Amino acid sequence: METHVTVERQRLLTDRLRLLKRRTGLSLAALAAVTPFSKSTWHRYLHGDQLPPRAAVEALARLAHTEPEALTSLLSLWDAAVQEQSRPPTPPPIPSVRPRRLRPPVRALVALAAMATTVALTAGATDALDHDVAVEHMEHMEHTVASCHYPGH
């Protein structure tokens, strides 16, 4: 996140560089011809899209015949802009996340669903147990009935 001060210093540096370029009377192509920086690179520097290196600031100041005091001021501004740009951005604060509480009707539905599930499982288990008990009882009854009808069996 850039601060307002950082943006203002960079804008001020860009404005001063444009003034120096105007003072030279050179086009971007001519500026590129007499410095180690391309026309498109100068365009980025002079439009504030990219912070120039110190060598570009010094070269432009030299071509504009800048007085030593003005050059010192310009380089101080450049130093401050570079330092601010190199600072790591402060991350935005992480919002605290609270556990979501269920509203009373939703809580009641969850409780009802849990109870219904418990009842269904219990009933199913009871039916299975009753079925096993009933089968055992029927087998016992058949055996008893068979022994009554068929003596000796």
The architecture that CATH gives domain 4-86 is Orthogonal Bundle (1.10)
Separation of alpha carbons 82 and 6, rounded Å: 9
Reported as a pLDDT band with limits 50, 70 and 90, residue 93 is confident
Which one, of 88, 105, 97, 80, lies nearest residue 11 by Cα?
Answer: 80
pLDDT of residue 109: 76
Mean pLDDT (the chain, rounded): 80
Every domain of the chain and the residues it spans: 4-86, 102-153
Reported as a pLDDT band with limits 50, 70 and 90, residue 112 is confident
Using a cut of 0.75, tell me whether the model's pTM lies above it: no
CA 67 to chain centroid, in Å, comes to 47
Mean pLDDT over 112-116 rounds to 81
User: What does each C-alpha distance from 15 to 11, 31, 67, 81, 142 come to in angstroms?
Assistant: 6, 17, 17, 13, 108
| Dihedral sign of CA atoms 48, 79, 71, 52 in order | negative
pLDDT of residue 1: 45
